[in-house]
Amino acid sequence: MATATKTEKYTQAVGRRKTSTAVVRIYKGTKNSYTVNGKEFHVYFPTETLRSIANAPLTKFENPVKFKVSAKISGGGVASQAGAMRHALSRALIIFDTNLRGTMKKAGFLKRDPRAKERRKFGLKKARKAPQWSKR
């Protein structure tokens, strides 16, 4: 799947964070409205922190155009899904308006957050946690 596409009806982009993947489509609308996996935005992201993370690209910059946002998110937890949505939304916005690229890049919204869970090593309980050591 291409990371970003633009048609007459909508602009689509893909964003990722940890194991979450978000595909966001933005349509020109009369007011800002969001649906995530067929649910309302405030129902899918119950806390204000998650909503502000996911919605940051639209709220941080004064944009005269209003958008209808539709997102399909899969994988990971709710926090990483919010980060994936932010990544995809900012990618879609710079395809819609290339003048936003500098401000989005400065804010750090275009960089994929590379942090992910470290793999478990054999002989250890988790990635770095070792079993209790006994001298005798």
Q: Residue 45: give its domain's CATH number.
A: 3.30.230.10
**Cα distance between residue 111 and residue 104, in whole Å:** 9
Answer whether residue 124 is part of any domain: no
Q: In which element (H, E) is residue 55 found?
A: helix 48-60
- The residue range of the domain holding 35 is 4-107
pTM score = 0.88
In a domain, 125, yes or no: no
The answer as to whether 29 is a domain residue is: yes
On whether residue 60 sits in a domain, the answer given is yes
Window from 29-33, 101-105, 132-136 with minimum mean pLDDT:
29-33
Tell me: the pLDDT tens digits for 84-115?
999 999 999 999 888 889 999 999 999 999 99
Look at residue 1 in the predicted model and tell me its pLDDT: 55
- 33-36, strands of its sheet edge to edge: 4-6, 10-17, 20-29, 66-74, 33-36, 39-40
Provide the mean pLDDT of the chain.
91
User: Is 83 a member of any domain?
Assistant: yes
Task: Assign 120 a pLDDT band (cuts: 50, 70, 90).
Answer: very high
Q: Calculate what percentage of the chain has a pLDDT beyond 70.
A: 99
- Backbone φ and ψ for 58, nearest 5 degrees, come out as -85, -35
The HSE-up count of residue 107 (CA atoms within 13 Å, CB side) is 18
115 found inside a domain: no
SS3 109: coil
Residue 89 lies in a domain: yes
> Does residue 73 fall inside a structural domain?
yes
10 Å Cβ neighbour count for 33? Answer: 14
- Count of domains forming the chain: 1
